Amino acid sequence: MTNHSIQHTIIIGGGPCGLAAAIELQRNGITPLIIEKRNIVHSISQYPTYMHFFSSPELLEIGDIPFTTANVKPSRLEALNYYRTAAQRHNVHVEAYVGITAINRYENGFELEGTDRFGELRTYRCRHVIIATGYFDHPNVLGIPGEEMDKVSHFFRESHPYVGMEVAIIGGSNSAIDAALELERVGARVTVIYRGAHYSSSIKSWVRPTFEAKVAKGSISMRFASRVTEIHPRHIIVETEQGCESIANDFVLALTGFHPDRGFLTSAGVTMEAEGYPTFNEETMETNVPGIYLAGVVASKHEANEIFIESGRFHGRKIAQHMLDSGRK
């Protein structure tokens, strides 16, 4: 077991909001340690290879470093380069590939327990903890027979592996629509299964006409008011308003969204409101546990997409100000 010297503040999570919080603390004379269970901005590295953000680049900026791109909306690759550069330029201290498993009270602060990628136990002590974990590791599961099969994935990276295959996409959000279009372009036979009775209003306005045209031509099969009830090796069972049907299938992409790890929060003593989101002060981002703060998507109240980089990048500013005002620096 490796013990570390006492830190002032430890940030759990090295995504854009964790990096932004670290930079804000450094500007106020506090040098935090970021502990990230994988690589920095891991969630972005898991996005589809050729994805472009919805947001314009200036809304993704952290640390007063300009985010320049030749495109209207930046790409995944450009974002990886930008956040990596921002972390390096601000000399943010990151300990990567260490997963924190517990936060315990210790004298006037906290003791964090974790494990590195070699299985070695780690302990850290600090006065304050900022939880900036994302949600990409916690997909919303369907809870149906066959979901554990290798043919099922909650992530879509790129279309090439699915050339010529029968692919079912579960979901009707932008991620599902984008995946369907990419798959159709490489020759996959795509069926989109969506529980809603109509197209989602959140679909990007410049994408929807293209998708609807593909459906009208029969290039993509669309099932509204439907849900997958069983997944089998060579077919799936879909329940519709007209009854159940069997659809030939090679792969299933369950693009049903993600959620923050609430269990980790409650184990640290953070309470949950009746609506299911963690208790915290929106002005300071401090939870009901003095010294534990939230930053980024983990502070979302209803939907994981409610707080993303655009707004979560400013949480560190609130936290730093609260530490200064309360004399915790």
- In this predicted structure, the answer to whether residue 307 has a pLDDT above a threshold of 90 is no
Q: Which of 57-61, 118-122, 166-170, 308-312 has the lowest mean pLDDT?
A: 308-312
Q: Which long-range contacts (CB under 8 A, 24 or more apart) does 53-58 make?
A: 53/79, 54/174, 54/204, 55/308, 55/309, 55/310
Kindly list the distances between the CA atom of residue 207 and the CA atoms of 75, 175, 190, 265, 290, in Å, as whole numbers in the listed order.
16, 11, 17, 37, 45
Q: How far is CA 215 from the centre of its chain?
A: 29
pLDDT grade, residue 3 (50/70/90)?
A: low
Q: What pLDDT sits at residue 2?
A: 57
Q: How far apart are CA 21 and CA 312, in angstroms?
A: 9
Q: Is residue 262 within 8 Å of 178, Cβ to Cβ?
A: no
Residue 174 CB neighbour total at 10 angstroms: 18
Q: How far apart are CA 2 and CA 311, in angstroms?
A: 36
Task: Give span(s): CATH 3.50.50.60, the chain.
Answer: 2-138+258-325, 152-254
- In this predicted structure, the answer to whether residue 304 has a pLDDT above a threshold of 70 is no
> Which residue has better confidence, 170 or 106?
170
Q: What pLDDT sits at residue 204?
A: 85
pLDDT grade, residue 306 (50/70/90)?
A: very low
Whether this prediction's pTM lies above 0.75 is answered by yes
- In this predicted structure, the answer to whether residue 259 has a pLDDT above a threshold of 80 is no
Average pLDDT over residues 235-258: 94
Average pLDDT over residues 57-67: 93
- In this predicted structure, the answer to whether residue 272 has a pLDDT above a threshold of 60 is yes
Q: For the stretch 196-212, what's the b/e string if a residue is b when 16 or more beta carbons lie within 10 angstroms of its beta carbon?
A: eeebeeebeeeeeeebe
Q: What pLDDT sits at residue 234?
A: 97
Choose which CATH entry (3.50.7.10, 3.40.30.10, 3.20.20.140, 3.50.50.60) describes domain 2-138+258-325.
Answer: 3.50.50.60
Q: How far apart are CA 208 and CA 178, in angstroms?
A: 10
**What does pLDDT average to over the chain?**
91
Q: Which of 36-45, 79-88, 247-256, 265-274 has the lowest mean pLDDT?
A: 265-274
Q: With left for phi above 0 and alpha for psi between -120 and 50, is residue 63 left, alpha or beta?
A: left
Q: What pLDDT sits at residue 257?
A: 84
Q: Model confidence over 8-56: pLDDT tens digits?
A: 999 999 999 999 999 999 999 999 999 999 999 998 998 888 888 888 8
- In this predicted structure, the answer to whether residue 139 has a pLDDT above a threshold of 90 is no
152-254: CATH number: 3.50.50.60
